Chains A and B, each alone.
Chain A
Amino acid sequence: MVQICTMIPVAKEVGSLRAMGSGGIVSPTGNPELTPEKEKQFRRELVLRALQILKEDVRE
């Protein structure tokens, strides 16, 4: 499981070790300040990074 979230220290504290940064509290997988096309591109890059993290070993 990879978690896209804002408060990474909290996530890691409870054991969500594959936590990664998001687009923010109100838009974890988006960015309302971008145009729709650029926002979707941002989302794609975020998701690809998340999928990459699923392929990585993580030490406890």
Chain B
Amino acid sequence: MAEKIRVVHYLNQFFAQIGGEEKADIGPGFKEGPTGPGRALQQALMEHGEVIATLFCGDNYFAEHAEEATEELLRQMARCKAHLLIAGPAFESGRYGVACGAICQAAQERLGIHALAGMDEENAGAALYCKNVYIINSGDSVVRMLPALQRMVTLGIKLVRGAPLGRPEEEGYIPRGIKRNAFAAKPPAERAVDMLLAKIRGAPFKSEIAAPQFHHIKPAAALRDLSSAVIALVTDGGLVTEGNPERMEPGRPTRFTTIPVEGIDRLDPKQFDVVHSGYDTAFANQDPHRLVPLDVMRELEQQGIIGKLHESIHATGGAHAAVENATRIGQSIAERLKSAGVNGVILTST
């Protein structure tokens, strides 16, 4: 009988039963044994493995302090002498999915342990990490938790035991872009003609190479009433607080910063900087309102033209942003604003 697999389960603050969005800022933590869906994970593992610990981290904390969070979580994983890290499933939670992918990649690279995650194929974390991390496509609904966990367990056991893996569609993981040569029953010319004939007849056929998928973004519905709306200011022009204490990147951004503006009705140039390698920031540095129109928005709020100005400016610097990172940053900001009850956003870009 093979050794029992020591499994560590990574969850966010919600699934770890700490709390909801209000607890998204908590740092990394540890619980002995399985927690929440970890119990179902343990049942799926049966006698093959044991969920020895649950690691968790708040979604916002991980998004904003990925390095520190990763270090601490890796430390805990190493201490547990885990064989396998299972992260999620995160379904469509973007911050959570990104954290799952990141912690799995780090565990593989830095600790050499097997890792896999679960999330919806559209999750920003999937686009970022599917090439390096096995990610079971959990779909977007928490209702499918049990089937997702079952697939994650089946894949995890195969990874640890070194068993051969089937194709993505067989095992349920998101394609990693790995090509393997295989012999086909018919030569390519015959397969191509078969495919063409099927297409002409209107019969079903399957392309051997998947066409690239462009994500379609549905525009938000029009706002009915501005006077009751909460409007948030967002920028990718690189606004930061004086001295750039968070060391926001001037280019190739990987994260965003949150600048509190509750009770502030102007951006004092002495208290703010603009860090962005893609344009001349001198003018925005002289007067940050040239980048983020806080003064005007505060007046409009006081005059009742908008209901409320949201309490923070979310800012990043958009120079040479990798599409994947920009997508993740945007989705993360959008999630936060949505859960804070924001109705509309003015995004100012250079």
Contact = CB atoms under 8 A, between A and B. Distances in A.
B284 A27 contact: yes
B279 A25 contact: yes
* Chain A interface bracket (under 10, 10 to 19, 20 to 34, 35 or more): 35 or more
Contact of B291 (A15, A27, A60): A27
A47 B290 CA distance: 12
B103 interface: no
A42 to B, nearest CB: 10
Given A26-B283, A30-B289, A15 B231 contact: no
Interface string A1-38: 11111100001001111100011011111101000000
Contact of B219 (A18, A28, A51): A18
Contacts of A27: 283-284, 290-291
Interface in B212-229: 215-224, 226, 229
Contacts of B296: 29, 40, 43-44, 47
Interface of A is mostly: loop
A50 B346 contact: yes
Interface in B260-291: 279-284, 286-287, 289-291
Nearest to B287: A30
Contact of A15 (B217, B287, B289): B217
A11 B286 CA distance: 27
B292 interface: yes
B299 interface: yes
B350 A25 contact: yes
B348 A29 contact: yes
Nearest to A18: B219
B291 A28 contact: yes
Contacts of B305: 48, 51
B223 A28 contact: no
Contacts of B281: 26
Interface in B313-340: none
B222 A55 contact: yes
B345 interface: yes
B127 interface: no
Interface centre among A6, A39, A54, A60 (most CB of B within 10 A): A54
A53 B236 CA distance: 20
B345 A1 contact: yes
A53 B229 CA distance: 14
A1 B289 contact: no
Contacts of B292: 29
Interface string B220-258: 111110100101001101000000000000000000000
Given A32-B290, A39-B290, 18 more contacts: A3-B348, A5-B348, A5-B350, A11-B349, A14-B217, A17-B219, A26-B280, A28-B237, A28-B290, A29-B292, A30-B283, A30-B284, A43-B296, A50-B346, A51-B226, A51-B344, A51-B346, A57-B222
Interface of B: 215-224, 226, 229, 231, 234-235, 237, 279-284, 286-287, 289-293, 295-297, 299-300, 305-306, 344-350
